[in-house]
Copies of this chain bind each other. A is one copy, B any other.
Amino acid sequence: MGASAFVPGHVTVFFSPHWADEPAATGATGAGLTLDHGVEVEVEPAGRTSVTVNGEPAGMAPVERVLTVLERPAEVAVETPLPIGAGFGVSGAATLAAALAADATAGGGRTENELIAAAHRAEVESGTGLGDVVAQARGGVPIRLAAGGPERGRLDGIPAAGRIEYLSLGTVDTPAVLGGDTAPVAAAGDRALETLSAEPTLPALFAAGRRFAREADLRSERVTAVVEDVVQAGGEATMAMLGEAVVALGRGLSDVGYDATTTHIHPGGATLREPVV
């Protein structure tokens, strides 16, 4: 008996990492956009866990870890239109979707918060992400007010709907960046969260993101140039954290001639798919 789940993509716009002894209290405050472009996962129980991504065998440490913790080894087929390792939360989405679907294959018995907590811990312990899972569980435009899994974290959101464009220029090694000195990043992220809380709108989110990228010194020249092209033309764009990628509101990227991909703010969060009868 297989099961399927969908989890939206997630672009972090700014963040402040919070480290704790417990993985449940480790995570990141910040804000971002969840996207209609996300991850579809099909799970079939199996003797040991294996993962394919868009049909190709792939190692995905947090997926393997969460299924071990849940004691649900399975064949996991991940399908996604998103670029991988580029700041779109594919790893968090695959981990949360695999947890939801794997629990369902056994008739359920765990709550959403329990499965979100397990997926969050698996991402933290694998060093692949700090805040995607809880954001993807909520959907919309999540603000992470307190870091950590559902036991410890606290969320709000910017009410919003609309078209988003994105452009991926390459990959970033998340574990390498998160393993370095993150104090300047944390300070910039805390300031951005304060600014956004005073004016929780989409334009303010993009402006906070641009300032964060500059202050935290995370921008490449290529990303900076693309963001500036969009802003010069009156659009809203910012860098996807952590990725060599740009996201823009509406037609911000295509209006200035980039061959961008179109998606939308996703209205909901992670969800099981209805079994096809």
Contact = CB atoms under 8 A, between A and B. Distances in A.
A256 to B, nearest CB: 19
Contact of A272 (B103, B107, B111, B159): B159
Nearest to A196: B111
A148 to B, nearest CB: 15
A79 interface: no
A200 B110 contact: yes
A113 B162 contact: no
Interface residues of A, number: 37
Contacts of A199: 109
Contact of A161 (B103, B113, B156, B273): B273
Q: Which one of A100, A201, A202 has the highest number of Cβ atoms from chain B below 10 Å of its Cβ?
A: A201
Q: Which one of A113, A201, A267, A275 has the highest number of Cβ atoms from chain B below 10 Å of its Cβ?
A: A267
Interface in A227-277: 264, 267-269, 271-275
B274 A163 contact: yes
Interface in A156-170: 156-163
B161 A272 contact: yes
A156 B112 CA distance: 6
A5 to B, nearest CB: 8
Q: Which one of A6, A150, A159, A273 has the highest number of Cβ atoms from chain B below 10 Å of its Cβ?
A: A159
A273 B140 CA distance: 12
Interface in A62-113: 100, 103-104, 107-113
A140 B162 contact: no
A159 B111 CA distance: 6
Given A140-B271, A268-B268, A269-B268, A158 B201 contact: no
Contacts of A110: 159, 200
21 contacts: A104-B159, A108-B158, A108-B159, A108-B160, A108-B200, A111-B143, A111-B159, A112-B157, A113-B157, A139-B269, A140-B271, A150-B156, A159-B271, A159-B272, A161-B271, A161-B275, A162-B274, A162-B275, A267-B268, A268-B269, A268-B271
Interface of A: 6, 100, 103-104, 107-113, 115, 139-140, 143, 150, 156-163, 199-202, 264, 267-269, 271-275
